[in-house]
Structure 1
Amino acid sequence: MEYRRLGNTGLKVSALSFGAWVTFGTQVPLQQAKELLQASRDAGVNFFDNAEVYAKGKAEEIMGQAFKELGWKRSDLVISTKVFWGGEGPNDSGLSRKHIIEGTKASLTRLQLDYVDVLFCHRPDPNTPIEETVRAMNWVIDQGWALYWGTSEWSAEQLQEAWRVSERLGLIGPACEQPEYNMFARKKVEQEFKPIYESHGLGLTTWSPLASGILTGKYSGGSVPEGSRFALTDYKSMAEKKLVQKRAQVDAVDQLKPIAEQLGCSLAQLALAWCLKNPHVSTVITGSTRVEQIKENMAAMQVVPKITDELLKKIHDITEPTITA
């Protein structure tokens, strides 16, 4: 496993990490979660991602109990969670000082932890001044509930404002951003954020490297295999959006198969390795329901050095016409 710095911090995270979105509390119970976490740890993974909204808090509960039963040394782990969607009440969501503080306390209780390493603002909140959010995130750090804070799906302009506020007040700015990043979603990471990597050392903990499974090739022809994410009731609308409205992306994956064959890897490994080629990416968050998937994903590390500039151009020629974000 390779370990990369999280932006300009001294924190080192595994280049491939494990996230609980969709799986924990929805598809994966506690015992299976322990097996998946152990397989990830055996492969060198040290970064584990969660959020208060995942399975309405159940994902944090399962991960926290699994960590407790596995008995791992806390200093060996880098654990993150995200606040924004915490419930139905008028103050149970967003990035107000009230919800950030109460949401963080609730997440720590579910995770059975004294602190998380990274606390993310899960989305930008147009109803809360960024200064209020910056002050609240710094207060959480001052309490020792989080060591670093970051953002998820914020724009470059919103990040710049957060840093301006932080610098004016002598506070800590966001260390990292968690954007969607894959062959079909590239504009924010490769264009919008380009001017700020050098100025602020933004670290990236990217999600959806397989474009919700499309880049694995399992949805070839628009089919939905039993047991896949798009076969889940809660993801029917996403299946319509991804497999019907963006059918060109599904078809593009078939054109990537010869490249994967040339490299001697699966389409999933190719997609993960492609993400890792970007030097601004600190870690690529993966998700799995089976130990075999984790082993396949981790093997993508060996594919990264095989992707030459020539192969990158071939990949981009295939995928660029289908980029939507």
Structure 2
Amino acid sequence: MEHQRLGDSGLTISKVVYGNWLTHGETVSGDAALACVEAALDAGIDTFDTADVYAMGAAETLLGKAIQGIRRESLTIASKVCLPTGPGPNDRGLSRKHIMESCHASLRRLGTDYLDLYQAHRFDDDTPLDETLIALDDLVRQGKVRYLGVSEWTAAQIEAALTVVAELGLRTRFIANQPQYNMLWRVIEPEVLPLCQRAGIGQLVFQPLAQGVLSGKYQPGQPPPAGSRAAGTGRAPTFIRRVLGDVLLERVQRLRPIAEEAGVSMAQLAVAWTLHRPGVSGTIIGASRPEQVRENAGAAEVRLDDALIEAIDAVLDNLVDRDPTKTARMMAVEPAWMGAPAG
């Protein structure tokens, strides 16, 4: 497994990161979850991403159980705060109260006394930005958090935070942005990515397979295969089925010869594509089975030349969404392929 710096910070992460959104505590639990984490560790993945809201804390608890007994300093653990974790008005957002309480709860569930990376899961319009940034800075000063980041913030929101950090003279700044990013969903490219590159903020991207669509396992005109997330239970099928469509699936199948030419699976092609994009420090993969972890981890060693990347762009072309106004929204929101011809 190859490693690289997260942005221009001194923190080194594995290029492929193991995440447990929509898996641990939802579609994967118990021994299956432990087996996936073990497979990640065996593949050289030492960076793990989770959040307080994933399965309402169960994802953090499972991850904490899976890494118990492993030398803490050998791991990089990231979590997040903002989205609702309870029924109360203070069980959400980026207020000082919720940030402090959520961080302490995450530490308990994960069985650790610090987080390597703590990320604001969304922007909070209802909390003064200086309150949020001071609270996060205090966690760093207290030794409970090592580095800070955001997830799905717009360029304007990130820039505003950078301004407040400078004005208040805070010691810590954001080193990571965690956006949705893949061959089809590239809304960070016009605004977020250039700003982050100027500010030294690395991209820790999620959904490199576009909910499994880019793996090629969903075929046009056919029901989801048995055992796939789209055919399962829980929230995962809802997320996935919103992006399925014959126009898109037919075009994705045209990527298969490109993957074969590169000598990789379609899933590896999709993950490797994100790792070859400017500004991307790491790519988060999710998995329901250990073999999926091993396959996707192999993408870190895949080399894609310019001609191959151009071939991918030529296939997808008008299906690619680059609308920056869709930042912080899911791929299913008016995707570019809606209404596009199959040819």
**What TM-score do you get using the length of structure 1 for normalisation?**
0.94
The reply on whether 1:37 has 2:37 as its aligned counterpart is yes
Q: Displacement of 1:40 after TM fit?
A: 0.9
Q: Does the 8 Å contact 1:184/1:320 carry over to 2?
A: no
Tell me the distance in 1 between the aligned counterparts of 2:18 and 2:149.
17
Q: Equivalent residue for 2:21?
A: 21
Structure 2 equivalent of residue 314 of structure 1: 311
2:46·2:75 contact (CA, 8 Å) conserved in 1?
Answer: yes
Unaligned runs of 5+ in 2: 323-343
2:258 equivalent to 1:263: no
Equivalent residue of 2:190, what SS?
helix
**Structure 1 stretches of 5 or more lacking a match?**
none
Q: Which has the higher contact order (CA 8 A, sep 6+)?
A: 2
What's the counterpart of residue 251 of structure 1? 250
2:219 aligned with 1:224: no
Assess, with a 3 A threshold, how the Cα gap between structure 1 residues 194 and 109 changes in structure 2: closer, same or farther: closer
Q: Deviations over 1:260-301 (max 9, x none)?
A: 111121110100111111131111001111111111112212
Q: Residue 80 of structure 1 corresponds to which residue in structure 2?
A: 78
Question: Amino acid of the residue matched to residue 317 of structure 1?
Answer: A
Shift of 1:238: 2.5
Q: For the aligned residues, what is the CA RMSD? A: 1.4
Taking the aligned partners of 1:6 and 1:290, their CA distance within structure 2 comes to 27
C-alpha offsets along residues 290-316 of structure 1, whole Å, 9 cap, x if unaligned? Answer: 11111111221232x2x2111111101
Change (3 A) 1:298 1:257: same
Cα distance in 1 between the residues matched to 2:266 and 2:190: 25
1:141 corresponds to which residue?
140
Larger fraction in helix? 1
Alignment-derived partner of residue 332 in structure 2 = none
1:199 deviation in Å? 2.5
Aligned position for 2:99: 100
Measure how far apart 1:166 and its partner are.
0.4
| 1:205-227 Cα distance to aligned partner (Å, 9 max, x none) | 10000000000111111521222
Residues 32-80 of structure 1 show CA distances to partners (whole Å, capped at 9, x for unaligned) of: 2222112111211111000011111101111111211xx1111100000
Q: CA deviation at 1:248?
A: 2.9
Q: Which amino acid aligns with 1:73?
A: R
1:51 matched to 2:51: yes
- Distance of 1:128 and 1:227 partners within structure 2: 42
The residue identity in structure 1 corresponding to 2:29 is P
Matched position secondary structure for 1:282: strand
Quick one: which amino acid aligns to residue 100 of structure 1? I
Inter-CA distance 65–121: structure 2 relative to 1 (3 Å threshold): same
AA at the equivalent of 2:134:
R
Name the residue aligned to 1:89: 88
Question: CA deviation digits over 1:152-178, x for unaligned, max 9?
Answer: 000111001101000111112211100
Deviations 1:171-208 (A, max 9, x none): 122111000010011121x2212432443101111000
Secondary structure of the residue aligned to 1:242 is: coil
Q: Which residue is equivalent to 1:237?
A: 238
Query: Distance between the aligned counterparts of 1:241 and 1:39, measured in 2?
Result: 30
1:199 alignment partner in structure 2: 198
Shift of 1:137: 0.7
Whichever residue aligns with residue 78 of structure 1, its letter is T
Identity in percent:
42
Shift of 1:15: 0.4
Q: 1:131 is matched with which residue?
A: 130
TM-score normalised to the size of structure 2?
0.89
Contact 2:27–2:234, Cα closer than 8 Å, also in 1 = no
Distance 1:301 1:194 in 2: 21
